[in-house]
A and B are shown apart, each in its own frame.
Chain A
Amino acid sequence: MAISPALGKEFMDIVGKDNVLTEETDRQAYSYDAAVLSPVVPALVVIPTNQEELGKVVKLAYENGLPITVRGSGTNLSGASIPEEGDGIVILTNRLNKILEINQEDLYAVVEPGVITAQFAAAVAQRGLFYPPDPGSQGVSTLGGNVALNAGGLRGLKYGVTKDYIMGMEIFDYRGELIKSGSRTVKYVTGYNMPALMAASEGTLGVFSNLIIKLVPPPKAAKAMMAVFDDINQASETVASIIAAHIIPCTLELLDKNCIKYVEADAKIGLPVEAGGILLIEVDGGHAQMVEEDAAKVMEICKKCGCSDIRIASNEEEKNKIWAARRNALPALARARPTTVLEDATVPRSQIPAMIKAVNEIAKKYRLEVGTFGHAGDGNLHPTILCDRRDKEEFHRVEQAVDEIFDVALRLKGTLSGEHGIGMAKAKWMEKETNRATIEFAKNLRRALDPKMLFNAGKKFV
């Protein structure tokens, strides 16, 4: 069954002829996202330019039984924005990119879902406020996509992730009706906590029309450090000790031995290639004196835990240098081989050494190159497997290795994904992390909100 010309025309009547993409060359450009998965070409791409059009498009598509995949910038790493086979259409929200309000008195903003994350953060900063979530794709990702995937980032430990900043939202349901939830107030108990349910829903429950986002005052001072360890266990112990001392750094990033080697080979920034691990630590706060004291305490803890070297940035330039190691981590890994399989299995933070050890053993077993970096404070690691997806035999080993990495993460009481999402990539493991009843429960919930199962049907719970 193909979409009839009459139906195509109906979409055009809503959004205009230019905003319905029918040419194969246009449609193929929406067949993928940043996940290493096979593309699926959508039957149609529809581009609403205001909220009214968005609602009408959802209604029309749903009435006609078309599987709907909503796409912002298509930067997620789990295939959550790859369209459905068959007559799957893409509803593109990147033109819904207006910041409707930034309220400096009540510390919130109202935005359309297609606003680019970094542009929003910059606009907020201009008003002297702070939007902390900073996923790696923030330069191009949309806020709607961030909510749908509950995107994280480097500041998760102290400031939380996207879900912690959603105060409310308006959603189009499957009938194209506008549903209101949440509020502009700090406290709110009048409805179901829909914003919480929508975070990480991966486009399976409804279509975001606008978002009410919480803002906070920015830190007044920050201090960045780099600590080098001979042994990854020492780095992990340091992380535990810092938190035990009741200091919550805003970032606490780890690079393992392999990752350090790749970064140094590619970027040549003078990293200690013999080290077992590097911690990049930044403390911040509302008071310069307090930040100084925290930084001093963190340095002391690093030394006590046996770090072989520690550097503290005394100015912006030195801070940039320290962060260069982290900035270069993914580029260095990505440049080493054609294909980069970026995982994000997450474990309780005390299990980091066990996880890294297991990842390296698995890589050895399957003869694969791997480098690991990640958010040590969250236990959210990014084991990155380097390969060439054209080499079928090698890629099969990659898939086996990924399976085992998930097994280990679950055995260590962790989770399949800390921030990249389930999408198509990890849906088959969901039952392993939970149980059959959990999957059925989720599907019942979906059926109530999406009776024909048309909202991103092949994602998350299948």
Chain B
Amino acid sequence: MSDAAQTVNAAGQAPQDVRELAAALMEIDDLLVSCMRCGFCMGVCPVFGATMKEADVTRGKIALLENLAHEMIADAKGVNEKLNRCLLCGSCQANCPSGVKIMDIFLRARSIVIEYMGLSPVKKFIFRALLVRPKLFNGLLDLSGKFQSLFLKDASKVVGTSCAPLLNPLIGDRHFPALAKESFHAVLPSLNSPAGKSGLKVAFFPGCVADKIFPNVAHASIKVLQKHGVGIYMPEGLVCCGIPALASGDRASYDALLRQNLKLFAAGSFDYLITPCATCTATFKEIWPKLTEKYSFVEREQIKKLHDKTLDITQFLVDVLKVELSEPENSGKRITYHDSCHMKKSLGLVAQPRKILKSLPGCQLVEMPEADRCCGSGGSFTLAHYDLSKQIGQRKRDNIVSVKPDMVAVGCPACMMQMMDMLSHNNDAIPVKHVIELYADSLS
């Protein structure tokens, strides 16, 4: 045991403050107790798949949380470290025979533990100073977009990544897509257009990664919506959906982000809320309604309404607009599709993106093995655990190249970044595209 770890004292009691933490964790005891320790999560957990250590899989983490709540362990720091070795991909929950509400458990537990331990200074700065102030955040990044060429050199022209040797100590040896020269919001800060021939109007939320790194994805979405005669409501001042803050246990910033967005959504009138980011969609639809006990009645009602209206853009196209999709050709460019965790395991969307891909002229869909295995990104997981993230990503990369594709398609910008990093590191000349980009291209 590490020297820093607090130990249970001779009387078998944990120190007072750990006991307070334990008492706070008892709030989720009803959720924890439903785990029957069958261990089926071992079969699907990407982190366990890489390390094969039980404390890295859901069953082990739930056991640790239970032991912390019942004062059988006092090493809160150690438990917190284990808790953070999780991508929140939801693979375990989707495969849990006893229906344990694992995402609830981990999100709540992270908040409770962080309340006790405190947030790291870097995260505090990002969440509390930047994310909740869109003007400052956007302004800073817009500026970086212009000056980044001073640090970056091309890592792979085909994949479209750069690396920043001078910044290695800070960000590791990542091959990342550069910040866009012009972010999406710099070109299109807001929009409020009436319904066209479809008779529908949607609220459009681009999401941070599509806004700042892949503006092409956001522009493609707008193009597709406009082409199909869909009115768009996109107010100025939208902020991050909140999941990075919540995943880091920063409940206060999450609440602030949620409220800021909620206010803007409530001010508009629209039929659906559409995003091209599976993570943002899943956050609005699945996470926002989960943690509402602190909110007012009105806020809860607004969240409930948004839950019903929120759709991923591919689902909107296929299920609501019922756009005409041509018959599959089964020849031409080989496209393989990665099921993002939030797309498949949170939203249950499997067929919709594939239907769109199959309809693309001159293309064929080839399935990779383990298409729904997590790519290892996990949002901020990859920042804190880059080695582990790379190890998980390598398996995804190996699965991708095994079907010799010309291109990888995906429905989540965060997965795009991760897969670009992996492919670029392996010198694979395989571009990564969002489904909506490919569909938008087929329209012109």
Is the CB–CB distance between B38 and A339 below 8 Å? Answer: no
Query: At the interface, yes or no: B73 with Cβ under 8 Å from chain A?
Result: yes
Decide yes or no whether B33 CB sits under 8 A from chain A: yes
Within 8 A of B (CB), among A99-145: 116, 118, 137, 139-140
B60 partner residues in chain A, CB cutoff 8 A? 28-29
B99 within 8 A of A: yes
Assess whether B33 is in contact with A140, with CB atoms less than 8 Å apart: no
Stretch at the interface among B77-85, B261-269, B370-378, B409-417: B77-85
Q: Which of A28, A94, A340, A390 contacts B36 (CB 8 A)?
A: A340
From B37, B40, B79, contact of A25 by CB (8 A): B79
The verdict on B404 contacting chain A, using a C-beta distance below 8 Å, is no
Q: Is B52 an interface residue, CB under 8 A from the partner?
A: yes
A194 within 8 A of B: no
Q: Are B63 and A32 in contact (CB under 8 A)?
A: yes
Q: Return the chain B residue nearest A330 by Cβ.
A: B97
Within 8 A of A (CB), among B1-39: 1-2, 5, 29-30, 33-34, 36-39
Residue contact A388 to B78, C-beta cutoff 8 Å: no
| B42 engages A25 (CB within 8 Å) | no
**Contact, CB under 8 Å: A335 / B40:** no
Interface residue ranges of A330-381 to B (CB < 8 Å): 330-331, 334-335, 338-340
A28 close to B42 (CB less than 8 A): no
Q: Which one of A23, A28, A31, A116 lies within 8 Å of B2 (CB-CB)? A: A23
Q: Does A389 contact B (CB under 8 A)?
A: yes
Interfacial chain A residues near B198, Cβ < 8 Å: none
Interface residues on B, range: 20 to 34
Q: Interface size bucket, A side?
A: 35 or more
Tell me which residues across on chain B come within 8 A of A140, comparing CB atoms: 39-40, 42-43
Interchain CB contact under 8 A, A34 and B36: yes
Say whether B190 faces chain A, with CB atoms less than 8 Å apart: no
* Closest chain A residue to B36, Cβ basis: A340
Q: Is the CB of B99 within 8 A of A331?
A: yes
Residues of chain B within 8 A of A331, CB atoms compared: 97-99
Count, A-B residue pairs, CB within 8 A: 91
Residues in A2-54 with C-beta less than 8 Å from chain B: 21-26, 28-36, 39
Contacts of A73 in B (CB 8 A): 39, 42
- Min Cβ gap A452→B in Å is 27
Q: Confirm or deny: A74 has a beta carbon within 8 angstroms of a beta carbon on chain B.
A: yes
* Given known A-B contacts A73-B39, A137-B39, A339-B36, A26 and B63 have beta carbons under 8 A apart: no
Cβ-defined contact, A75 with B1, below 8 A: no
CB pair A34–B63 under 8 Å, yes or no, is no
- A window 377-420: CB within 8 A of B: 388-390
Does A304 count as interface, using CB distance less than 8 angstroms?
Answer: no
| Bound-state Cα–Cα, A22 to B53, Å | 13
The answer to the question of B55 belonging to the interface, with a C-beta cut-off of 8 Å to chain A, is: yes
Residues B98 and A340 in contact, CB atoms below 8 Å apart: yes
Determine if A95 is an interface residue (Cβ-Cβ < 8 Å).
yes
Cross-chain contact A338 with B34 (CB below 8 angstroms): yes
Q: Which of B339-370 contact A (CB under 8 A)?
A: none
Check A29 against B63 for contact (C-beta < 8 Å): yes
B99 / chain A contacts, CB cutoff of 8 Å: 331, 334-335
User: Does B159 have its Cβ within 8 Å of any Cβ on chain A?
Assistant: no
Mark interface residues in B60-100 (1 if CB within 8 Å of A CB, else 0). 10011001000011010011011000000000000001110
CA of A139 to CA of B40 in the docked complex: distance in angstroms?
A: 7
The complex places the Cα of A414 from the Cα of B124 at a distance, in Å, of: 63
For A25, what are the chain B residues with a Cβ–Cβ distance below 8 Å? Answer: 55, 64, 73, 75, 78-79, 81-82
When C-beta atoms are compared, the residue in chain A nearest to B96 turns out to be A331
Contacts of A340 in B (CB 8 A): 36, 98
- Determine whether B319 belongs to the interface, using a CB cutoff of 8 Å to chain A: no
Instruction: Give bound CA distance, A340 to B97, whole Å.
Output: 11
Contact of B64 with A75 in the complex, beta carbons under 8 Å: no
A383 vs chain B, min Cβ distance (A): 16
Residues of B within 8 A of A23 (CB): 1-2, 5, 75, 78
Nearest residue (CB) in B for A31 is B63
Known: A34-B37, A140-B39, A334-B36. A74 touches B1 (CB 8 A): no
- In the bound complex, do residue A24 and residue B33 qualify as a contact, i.e. CB atoms below 8 Å apart? no
Grouping DSSP codes into helix (H, G, I), strand (E, B) and loop, the A interface class, with mixed when no group exceeds half, is: loop
User: Once the chains are docked, how many angstroms separate the CA of A29 from the CA of B29?
Assistant: 18
Cα A122 to Cα B269 in complex, Å, equals: 52
Q: Is the CB of A137 within 8 A of B75?
A: no
Assess whether A334 is in contact with B39, with CB atoms less than 8 Å apart.
no
Chain B positions within 8 Å of A35 at CB level: 37
Could you tell me the distance between the alpha carbons of A340 and B38 in the complex, rounded to whole angstroms? 10
| Nearest A-chain residue to B97, judged by Cβ | A331
Instruction: Evaluate contact between B75 and A24: CB separation under 8 angstroms.
Output: yes
In angstroms, how far is the closest chain A Cβ from the Cβ of B203? 33
Q: Bound state CA distance, A338 and B1, in angstroms? A: 32
Which of the listed residues B30, B33, B54 has the most CB atoms from chain A within 10 Å of its own CB? B54
Partner of A34, one of B1, B33, B38, B53: B38
Contact of B73 with A339 in the complex, beta carbons under 8 Å: no
Question: Could you tell me the distance in whole angstroms from the C-beta of A144 to the nearest C-beta in chain B?
Answer: 14
B80 to chain A, nearest CB (A): 9
Point out the residues of chain A lying under 8 angstroms from B42, CB to CB: 73, 140
Cα of A35 to Cα of B39 in the assembled complex, Å: 11
Q: Is the CB of A22 within 8 A of B67?
A: no
Contacts of A139 in B (CB 8 A): 40, 43
CA of A430 to CA of B99, assembled, Å? 34
Cα A73 to Cα B79 in complex, Å, equals: 21
Q: What residue in chain B is nearest A21 (Cβ atoms)? A: B53
Q: Could you say which residues of chain B place their CB within 8 Å of the CB of A75? A: 38-39
- Shortest CB-to-CB span from A232 to chain B, Å, is 25
Q: How far is the CA of A64 from the CA of B420 in the complex (A)?
A: 51
Check if B97 sits within 8 Å of A34, measured CB to CB: no
Indicate if the CB atoms of B38 and A137 lie closer than 8 Å: yes
- The residue among B30, B43, B63, B82 with the most chain A CB atoms within 10 A of its own CB is B43
Q: From residue A425, how far is it (CB to closest CB) to chain B in Å? A: 13
Whether the pair A30, B39 counts as a contact (CB closer than 8 A) is: no
Q: What is the distance, in angstroms, from B196's C-beta to the closest C-beta of chain A?
A: 40
Contacts of A21 in B (CB 8 A): 53
Chain A proximity of B42: nearest CB distance (Å) = 4
CB-based contact A29/B39 at 8 Å: no
Chain B positions within 8 Å of A, measured between CB atoms, are 1-2, 5, 29-30, 33-34, 36-40, 42-43, 52-55, 60, 63-64, 67, 72-73, 75, 78-79, 81-82, 97-99
10 pairs of A and B residues whose beta carbons are closest in the complex: A29-B60, A334-B98, A29-B54, A29-B55, A25-B78, A331-B97, A338-B33, A139-B43, A335-B99, A140-B42
Given A24-B1, A140-B43, 13 extra CB contacts under 8 A:
A23-B75, A26-B55, A28-B63, A29-B54, A30-B54, A33-B37, A39-B67, A137-B38, A137-B40, A140-B39, A331-B98, A335-B99, A339-B33
| A/B interface sample: 17 pairs, CB < 8 A | A25-B55, A25-B64, A25-B73, A25-B79, A26-B53, A28-B60, A28-B63, A28-B73, A29-B55, A34-B36, A73-B39, A75-B38, A116-B43, A137-B38, A334-B36, A335-B34, A338-B34
Footprint of B on A, CB under 8 Å? 21-26, 28-36, 39, 73-75, 94-95, 116, 118, 137, 139-140, 330-331, 334-335, 338-340, 388-390
